[in-house]
Amino acid sequence: MTTVQRAYKYRFYPTTEQAEQLARTFGCARYVYNHFLRLRTDAWYERQERIGYTDTAKLLTALKKEPETAWLQEVSNVCLQQSLRNLDTAFKNFFQGRAKYPTFKKKTARQSVRYTTSGFSWRDGQIKLAKQKEPLDIRWSRRFTGTPSSVTVSKDSADRYHISILVEEEVAALPFSKKEAGIDLGLTHAVITSGGQKVNNHQYLKQSEKKLARAQRSLSRKKKGSANRAKAKLKVARIHAKIADQRQDFAHKLTTQLIHENQVVAAESLQVKNMLKNRSLAKAISNVGWHQITTMLGYKAEWYGRDFVQIDKWYPSSKRCHACGHISDAMPLTVRVWDCPTCHAHHDRDINAAKNILKAGKAILAGADKLREHEQKTTAGRAGG
Q: Is 227 a residue whose pLDDT tops 90?
A: yes
pLDDT of residue 385: 55
- Distance, CA of 185 to CA of 187 (rounded, Å): 7
For the ranges 175-189, 222-236, 255-269, 278-292, which has the lowest average pLDDT? 278-292
Which residue in 307, 350, 369, 375 is the catalytic one?
A: 350
pLDDT tens by residue, 99-112: 999 999 999 889 99
pLDDT of residue 1: 76
Going by pLDDT thresholds of 50, 70 and 90, the confidence category of residue 382 is: low
Q: Region 234-245: what's the mean pLDDT?
A: 95
Active site residue 307: no
Q: Region 286-290: what's the mean pLDDT?
A: 83
Which residue in 42, 268, 369, 373 is the catalytic one?
A: 268
pLDDT tens by residue, 132-154: 999 999 999 999 988 899 999 99
Identify the residue with better confidence: 280 or 32.
32
Q: Region 238-255: what's the mean pLDDT?
A: 95
Identity at 339, one-letter amino acid code: D
Identify the residue with better confidence: 170 or 287.
170
Active site residue 124: no
Burial zone of 56 (CB within 10 Å; 0-12 exposed, 13-18 middle, 19+ buried) = buried
Long-range contacts made by residues 46-50, C-beta under 8 angstroms, separation at least 24?
A: none
Q: Is 66 a residue whose pLDDT tops 60?
A: yes
Q: Are 355 and 347 in contact (CB under 8 A)?
A: no
- Distance, CA of 241 to CA of 236 (rounded, Å): 9
Active site residue 168: no
Which residue in 184, 249, 307, 329 is the catalytic one?
A: 184
Going by pLDDT thresholds of 50, 70 and 90, the confidence category of residue 381 is: low
- Distance, CA of 74 to CA of 338 (rounded, Å): 68
pLDDT of residue 284: 77
Q: Is 279 a residue whose pLDDT tops 90?
A: no
Q: Between the CA of residue 219 and those of 106, 156, 232, 283, what are the distances in Å?
A: 20, 18, 5, 22
pLDDT of residue 302: 93
Q: Are 117 and 149 in contact (CB under 8 A)?
A: yes
pLDDT of residue 383: 63
pLDDT of residue 213: 96
Q: Are 81 and 60 in contact (CB under 8 A)?
A: yes
Q: What percent of the chain has pLDDT over 90?
A: 77
pLDDT of residue 305: 92
Please name which of 109, 95, 102, 146 lies closest in space to residue 125, comparing C-alpha atoms. 146
pLDDT tens by residue, 332-375: 888 999 999 999 999 999 999 999 999 999 999 988 777 677 56
Report the mean per-residue pLDDT for the chain.
91
pLDDT tens by residue, 192-207: 999 999 999 888 988 9
- Distance, CA of 197 to CA of 265 (rounded, Å): 14
User: What is the number of residues in the chain?
Assistant: 385
- Any idea what the Cα angle at residue 12 is, between residues 10 and 17, rounded to 5°? 150
Please name which of 182, 196, 214, 224 lies closest in space to residue 364, comparing C-alpha atoms. 182
Q: What is the pTM of this model?
A: 0.86
pLDDT tens by residue, 67-98: 999 999 999 999 999 999 999 999 999 999 99
Going by pLDDT thresholds of 50, 70 and 90, the confidence category of residue 243 is: very high
pLDDT of residue 357: 95
| Contacts with 20 (C-beta within 8 Å, 6 or more apart), sequence order | none
Identify the residue with better confidence: 277 or 350.
350
